[in-house]
Amino acid sequence: MQVKQGGHLATVLNVPTSAYPTVDAKVAALLTGKDVLVDLDDTKGDPFQSNFWSQLKGLWTSPNPAGDLDSILTSIQSQA
């Protein structure tokens, strides 16, 4: 039901491309035989998820993101 509405690809296996609207069916067909990685922060949950978004917000608002990148990546990896 969800994929028939369009704009969404199934996260479960073996949904036939015929279940999708035309454009989405083409995208789904491209993914056939490939492993799709799910949204990592949703998969891992907290404390990783809240730390991940906190660090990204810090990166986006930093006056020197390149200078802060190593510490931000270290913080994210510490919760992985």
- Alpha-carbon distance of 17 to 9, in angstroms, equals 10
How many other β-carbons are positioned within 10 Å of the β-carbon of residue 76?
Answer: 18
Evaluate if pTM is beyond 0.85.
no
Domain boundaries, the chain: 1-36, 40-78
Q: Is the pLDDT of residue 67 over 90?
A: no
Segment 32-48, tens digit of pLDDT: 888 877 788 888 889 99
Tokens standing for 41?
């922060």
Most confident of 19-23, 40-44, 68-72: 19-23
pLDDT of residue 49: 93
